[in-house]
Copies of this chain bind each other. A is one copy, B any other.
Amino acid sequence: MMENLKDTMIDYFETIELILPFKAEYVSTARLTASSVASKMGFNIEEVEDIKVALSEVCSKLVSRGSKVVDSYRIVFKLFKDKLTIVFCCEDGTLNCVFDNENDSLGIAIMNALMDDVELCTKTEQLLLISKVLKGEKQDAI
């Protein structure tokens, strides 16, 4: 089932972005937007739920840390043919590598279990990313 993982790096074809203030009340807005995007791609209800939970872990962490430099962070949904990658961006470099293995063990365990790829430290501005692969024959849905 995972043999397509390498192929998914090509065929990158669509981007949706959501820019949110560092406020707890908008984390549910992110979940709702994610669920719309993911279900349109053809993820089933359980997979959509997984994506919402993982995304929410990141948003909560960013919001609880906040930023002294900027007001908002950016969630970029990258829709590949058979993979959804969600990249979290912010011009505040202090939010790089925001998860720590000790205090965030629950959140990290959850993200790793629910997503196919979790990169907790990426380039500056692009803080971190999580990906989920579209299994089965649903990738024609879009």
Interface residues of A (CB under 8 A from B): 14-21, 23, 25-26, 28-29, 32-33, 35-37, 40, 71-72, 142
Contacts and interface: CB of A to CB of B under 8 A. Distances in A.
A131 B128 CA distance: 35
Contacts of A18: 16-19, 33
B19 A29 contact: no
A26 B16 CA distance: 9
B21 A28 contact: no
A20 B40 CA distance: 14
Contact of A32 (B15, B17, B26, B32): B32
B25 A15 contact: no
A116 B132 CA distance: 42
23 contacts: A14-B21, A15-B19, A15-B71, A16-B18, A16-B19, A16-B20, A16-B21, A16-B26, A16-B29, A17-B17, A17-B19, A18-B33, A19-B19, A25-B40, A26-B40, A28-B36, A29-B33, A29-B37, A29-B40, A32-B32, A32-B35, A32-B36, A33-B33
A29 B41 CA distance: 12
A77 to B, nearest CB: 10
